[in-house]
Structure 1
Amino acid sequence: MVDLVLSGVLALAVGGCTCVVWAERGGPRWVRRVATVTLAAGELVRRAERRRRRSVTRTTSGGD
């Protein structure tokens, strides 16, 4: 079951990356929408990782 979920996530990631490349080359409107969603999701993941790193650094350094 876990393999199926991970395969689905991988397929979505590869499809999203493909749409980003295709949109850069002037693909159809739906491809540009998928590329926008993919890039926004990537930005959300990056922000969450930065926040997590900051909170880990604060906890390990003893607070303020």
Structure 2
Amino acid sequence: MGNMIVLVLLGVLALVVGGCGCVVWAERGGPRWVRAMATMTLAAGEVVRRSERNRRRDLNGTISDDG
């Protein structure tokens, strides 16, 4: 079980590092597939940022579903 968790975390780390590399390469005018990967990486980062922001708001109690 522990080895599987380490492998999953290494896979996630490889995806993050690869995505960051694509963003840098795309800024320097890389091929089309690199620009596509960079766009997906930046979009995923934005999703994570927004979900974290919403989670913090929910924890602070500033948003209510009561209406």
TM-score, shorter chain, exceeding 0.5 = yes
Give the drift of 1:56: 0.2
Give the drift of 1:33: 0.1
Amino acid at match of 1:43: E
Aligned-pair identity in percent equals 75
Q: Secondary structure at the match of 1:43?
A: helix
State how 1:44-59 maps to structure 2 within 5 Å.
44-58=47-61
Structure 2 counterpart of 1:7, from 6, 10, 14: 10
Q: 2: CA distance between counterparts of 1:40 and 1:56?
A: 24
Listed as ranges, the gaps of 5+ residues in structure 1 are 60-64
Give the drift of 1:52: 0.1
Structure 1 counterpart of 2:42, from 39, 42, 61: 39
Give the drift of 1:34: 0.1
Listed as ranges, the gaps of 5+ residues in structure 2 are 63-67
Q: 1: CA distance between counterparts of 2:6 and 2:52?
A: 24
Q: What's the Cα RMSD here?
A: 1.0
Amino acid at match of 1:49: E
Give the drift of 1:16: 0.1
